[in-house]
Structure formats: structure tokens, C-alpha cells
Amino acid sequence: MRASSGKQLSLLFISGLTLLAYLALYHARSLDDDRLTGWGWCFHGGVAVSVFAAVAVGTVVSYLFAAAQMRIRYKPAVLFVLAFAASSFFWPEPEVIVDASRYFTQAKHLELYGIRYFLEEWGREIEVWTDMPLVPFLYGVIFRVFGEVRVYVQMFTSVLFASSVVLTYLAGKELWDEEVGFYGGLFLLGTPYLYTQVPLMLVDIPSTFFLILAVYLVIRALKRGGATVLFAGFAIFLAFFSKYSTWLMLSVIGVIAAVYMTEGPTKNSGRRELFSRLGYIVLCAVVPIGVVFLYKFSVFSEQIQLLIAYQKPGLKRWGESFLSTFLFQIHPFVTALALFSVYAAARNKDGKYIIVAWLVVLIVLLQIKRIRYSIMVFPMLSLAASYGLCAIKDAGVRRGIAACAMTSSFAVALLAYLPFLQTVSAVNIKEAGTFLNGTREPNVEVFTLTSAGPPLNPAVSVPLLDIFTDKHIVYDYRNALSPADRAAIAASSLRFTLEYRNPSYYLSGVQPESDASVAVISESPHDPLPPEIGEKLTGYRLVRSFGSSERIFRYQTSVRIYEKKADLR
């Protein structure tokens, strides 16, 4: 009876702490300097009240879940369904990060011209900036097989996100036990920022999946051997070509090997066998990596030079604070328990803990403060937090903490982050594409207007519009940026937009006398039209203007749609 009473008090304390944590973060929201979903931007008007109400409801549900003596069966299936269903709520989000234009353009080349063309022309006719080929390749395959529809890619990234949650569970189970793995998966759902990234046509969610897949398979291969050795090597190959920043993160493979050489189940007589398994893993990874790297050596070498000269120093200018990442964009319960886990692991003299701590330590020591470059570390951070959580003896209290972190994070993401992102000017591109889908003309001729001293080349908005419309886009790109403009944004994170090259598939299409619709993309819907565009629009009328603006981000995008006047058709 006394134990039960103590448990109830503990759960009430956790419930109160969950509400208090939200209120504290809300009142300190000005400290959040995240470049996409800063709390100071997302919480306005009545948003704070509705989120608080949802957090309170989630806390009650978490309390009931924690108090119930129920056993969860089929944990991987539960985690997968939870993650996929939660992420699907965010599919209506617009493409809020312009990098998506690059990945879409690369993928569309594969869709139109095939896999062989993609492999041959990647880095030549296909502009690649500092992108790796794997994820655009997969997006292109999806387009070629199922059609150029954004939701198919979103379903794919949701599957990868949900699979990452399951792989976090499996990695924790291999390292320790099923409970550590399960709470690790739940804590990954306690990261509100992640939900905003799943629906975007970027590489961060897929690269996170490939990294945690490699980690899990390497651990399993070292412990069990067999065919898993081959799969582990292939997973490293996939992670290697998903994103350049995974190269640093793959250092965890060496840490895993070192730990199992000293802490593994075959500590003495099995060391030679571990060496053998590790050797085969490395061989299965290095051979295909070497083949691809040599095939595109000139492309990769140019990209690496650009990364060193531009991207590396740029991280110091474009980053967010660790305070923002680890308190606002990750639930504070996760961060607090991850910190506590250091003590718990030291007390247990648990060498395997180094595996999950390694990447988090790298992020901190190297001062990698751009949250998009830290996403791949979140599964390991979640496992560290789970390790700390499992030091708490009462199972109900553990369930309560994990559930509160998950439900309150989802409430913040769904009711604060998503509504805010649906008001940014990027939504104009999405709404314009949807509107064009309802017009009768099959072609759309696009013009872009460059304002004085732009922070971004508006030409990259054309592929973004293409994502949302099934019409054939015609765009005869003319780079109107002056040398002064180029110099002004040479160190900008949007510098890649200056190197935009019009894909050939935008240059073929309608004749001048066609009745194609016309879309004008500009910074403001009130920007005057140049004479040459005004002449083109003789006989046209403005049918819709999309000019929503959150008035926060420096670059704004608006779209005006014109159609031939009915009496001139």
C-alpha cells in the first residue's frame, strides 16, 4: 500500500513537472534561436493556450498509461505505427527549406531519363552542389515507378522515420535489453523538431535511418556473425553516400568495434573471431564505396574542396545554440536523462555506453550547432536518455516519464510548429501549384523577378513549384544577378542558388502563341513587372495572387497566376 502511494505521488510529480517544463520554456521562448521553428516565432496569439491544453490532456493520458499494469506486446510494431501515424499529420507542410529544389531536380532527371542517365550525368548535367547521390536516386526511383507525386516521397520518408524508431529500439535491445530499446524509441518521438523534417524532400531523415541501420547491423554482426556481416557492410555503404556529414558519424563503427573487443561476450578466446567479422564488414563496405568513389572521383573531389572552403567555416555563422537544440527542440526530459545517464553508466562501469555517447560528445566537442547536422545523433541521444531512465526502479514511473515526453512533444509540433510553418511564404508555392492543378491548360510558363540585392536566387523556386503541380513547366532561365549580388551572398547558406542551372526539361514545351498559363514568382506580389514580361502578358488577366507572409524570414516568395482572357481564346 505504501509503495503504491509512493508511486502515485511520483506520477503526480512527473505530471506537474511536465506542465511546469512547458510553461518555463514558453516564458523563456526568446532564448530559442532555432532558424526554422524558434518558439518565439511559433507561439503567438492563442497558440500557447491550445498547446498547454493539449499537453495537459497528454499528461493525463500518460498518467493513466503509467498507472495501468499493462504489458506491451509487439513493441517494434507499436513503435512503427506510432511514428508513422504521428509523422503523417505533418504531410500538409510546405517545402520550407529551399534545399529541396536540388534534391527534386536530381530526382526528376532520373524519373525522366532513367537510372543509367542519372548514374552517368550525376555531377555533370545534373547539378549536385555538395549533395550525395543516394537519397535523390531513391526519390527518383519512386517518381519513375509511382509517378511524380509528393505524397509518395512523404510516405517513404515516414516509413524511414518509423523504421529509425524501430532500429533505435533494436540497437538498445542488442546493447542492453528490450526495455532500454523501447524507451529509446519513445524518446526519439519526444523530439518535436523531427516531426517538421519528415515531410520535406531533404536528406536528413533518410541519412538518419541509414546511420542507425549501420550501427544496429554492425553491433549484430559483431555479436553473431553470419550473413549479417554482409548486410552491415552494405548499410555502411548506404550511409556513406547519403550525406557528407555521415562520414564523421560513421566513426561510431570504430567505437563499436573497440568496445566489443574489450567488453563483448567473447572477451578472450573470441577476439580473433571479432577481428575476422570486423574485417569482413570493412571489406564489404570499402569495396563498393571505392568503386563508386573512383567512378565519380572528380565530382567528389570538387565537392570536398567546397565543403572545406565554404561549408566548414559557414557552420560558425549559420548555427543555433545548444540551448535551443537540447531544451526547446528536444524535450528537456530527454536531455536531462541523457545527462544523468553519464553518471549511471559510470556507476555501472558500462563500457557499451560509450557507443551511444560517442556521437553526442562529437557534436558538443566540435561545436556543431546546426540542428539539421545533428539530427543523425538523435537516436543515440534517445538511447542515452533511455539508459538513464532505466536506472529508475519503478516501471510505472519510467512509463510515465517517457509518455509525457512523447505526448507533449507531439502537441508542440502539431499545434505550434505545423501551424506556423503553414503561414510562411513558402506556402505560396504550394498553394499556387495546387491552384494550377485545377486549370485546364497543360502548360505553365514561369517567370522569376529578382529584387535588388536578393539573399536568394528566385530561380530555385521553380523546382519547388514543380513539386506541387502536375502541369508541364516551361522556364527559360536568365541569370539576372549582378556581380555585387554574388559578392553579397558569397558566404550565405543560400549561396548554392547562384549556381542554379536550368534543367533541359524546362526548356522544351509551349510555343509563343500557346494559351499556357503564366506564373510570376517574385519576392512581393506588388513587385512591378519588367516590360518584356508585361508585353508577354498582353491579353492575359491576373486570376490569383498568393502573397502570404510571416514577415520573419529574410527571403519571401509570392506567386501570381495569369491566364488568357476568355474573349481572346
Q: Where are the domains of the chain?
A: 1-70+392-422, 72-391, 426-568
pLDDT for residue 268: 42
Q: What is the per-residue pLDDT across 25-50, written as a single tens digit (0 to 9) for each?
A: 999 999 999 999 999 999 987 899 99
User: Among the residues of 413-492, which ranges form H helices?
Assistant: 418-421, 426-437, 461-468, 483-488
Quote the pLDDT of residue 455.
66
Cell numbers found for residue 213: 541501420
Residue 301 identity (one-letter amino acid) = S
**Is residue 302 scored above 50 in pLDDT?**
yes
Mean pLDDT of the chain: 91
Measure the CA dihedral 310/312/318/321, to 10°: -170
CA-angle at 452, arms to 450 and 454, nearest 5°: 65
Please, which pLDDT band fits residue 481 given cuts at 50, 70 and 90? Answer: low
Q: Half-sphere exposure (CA, 13 Å, Cβ side) for 76?
A: 11
Task: Give the pLDDT score at 509.
Answer: 60
Categorize the per-residue pLDDT at 70 as very low, low, confident or very high, splitting at 50, 70 and 90.
Answer: confident
pLDDT for residue 507: 87
What pLDDT score was predicted for residue 120?
A: 96
Contact 204, 258 (CB under 8 A): no
Strand order through the sheet with 540-546? 472-474, 443-448, 517-522, 558-564, 540-546
Q: Are 262 and 271 in contact (CB under 8 A)?
A: no
What separation in angstroms does the CA of 68 have from each of 59, 78, 519, 526? 14, 17, 57, 59
Is residue 265 predicted with pLDDT exceeding 90? Answer: no
| Cβ(465)–Cβ(422) below 8 Å | no
Highest mean pLDDT among 282-291, 493-502, 547-556: 282-291
Distance CA 455, CA 180 (A): 46
For residue 352, which phi and psi values (nearest 5 degrees)? -65, -20
Of 169-183, 426-440, 461-475, 542-556, least confident by mean pLDDT is 542-556
Tell me the C-alpha distance between 120 and 122, whole Å. Answer: 6
Give the whole-angstrom CA distance, residue 10 versus residue 394: 10
Instruction: Report the distance separating Cα 519 and Cα 536, nearest Å.
Output: 12
Amino acid at 534: G
Percent of the chain with pLDDT over 70: 93
> Would the pLDDT of 293 be above 50?
yes
Residue 72 — pLDDT band, cuts 50, 70, 90?
A: confident
**CB 218 within 8 Å of CB 232:** yes
What's the angle, vertex CA 243, arms to CA 240 and CA 244, rounded to 5? 80
Question: Which amino acid is present at 141?
Answer: V
pTM here is 0.95
Contact 151, 198 (CB under 8 A): no
- For residue 62, is pLDDT > 60? yes
Q: Lowest mean pLDDT of 10-24, 165-179, 296-310, 507-521, name the range.
A: 507-521
Asked whether the predicted pLDDT for residue 567 surpasses 50, the reply is: no
Out of 34-38, 52-56, 196-200, 562-566, least confident range:
562-566
Q: Is 458 helix (H, G, I), strand (E, B) or coil?
A: helix
Residues 6+ apart with CB under 8 A from 358: 251, 252, 255, 380
Provide the CA 226 distance to its chain's centre, in angstroms: 33
Checking if the pLDDT of 569 tops 50, the result is: no
Quote the pLDDT of residue 489: 67
Quick one: DSSP state of residue 122? Answer: B
Among 204-208, 318-322, 528-532, the range of highest mean pLDDT: 204-208
Residue 234 pLDDT greater than 80, yes or no: yes
- Residues 231/277, Cβ–Cβ less than 8 Å: no
pLDDT at 1 (0 to 100): 43
Q: How far apart, in Å, are the Cα atoms of 257 and each of 80, 215, 219, 278, 351?
A: 29, 11, 8, 7, 12
Gap between the Cα atoms of 282 and 237, Å rounded: 10
3-class state of residue 189 by DSSP? coil
Q: Over pLDDT 90: what percentage of the chain?
A: 76
The count of residues in the chain is 569
Q: Phi then psi for 45, rounded to 5 degrees? A: 60, -130
C-alpha dihedral, 68 to 171 to 355 to 322, nearest 10°: -60
Cα distance between residue 418 and residue 400, in whole Å: 26
Q: At what angle do helices 461-468 and 426-437 cross, to 10 degrees?
A: 40
Identify how many contiguous H helices and E strands the chain contains and give both numbers. 28, 5
| Cα–Cα dist 451/522, whole Å | 8
Q: What is the pLDDT of residue 445?
A: 94
Nearest-CA neighbor of 371 among 319, 420, 317?
A: 319
Q: Are 475 and 549 in contact (CB under 8 A)?
A: no
> In angstroms, rounded to a whole number, what is the distance separating the alpha carbons of residues 117 and 142?
16
Which tops the pLDDT comparison, 319 or 159? 159
Q: How confident is the model at residue 486 (pLDDT cuts 50, 70, 90)?
A: low
Q: What is the mean pLDDT of residues 324-346?
A: 97
453 — pLDDT class (breaks 50, 70, 90): low
pLDDT at position 2 over 90: no
In a 3-state reduction of DSSP, which class is residue 239? Answer: helix
pLDDT at 321: 94
CB atoms within 10 A of CB 477: 17
Specify burial of residue 393 (Cβ count, 10 A radius: 0-12, 13-18, 19+): exposed
Give residue 267's pLDDT band: very low, low, confident or very high (50, 70, 90): very low
Residues 108 and 103: their CA atoms lie apart, in Å, by 9
pLDDT tier, 500 (very low <50, low <70, confident <90, very high otherwise):
confident
The model's pLDDT over 127-185, given as tens digits with 9 standing for 90+, comes to: 999 999 999 999 999 999 999 999 999 999 999 999 999 999 999 999 999 999 999 99
Mean pLDDT of 56-63: 95
Contact 176, 352 (CB under 8 A): yes
Residue identified by cell 506556402 is: 427
- Are 156 and 121 within 8 A, CB to CB? no
The label of the residue with cell 547536422 reads 373
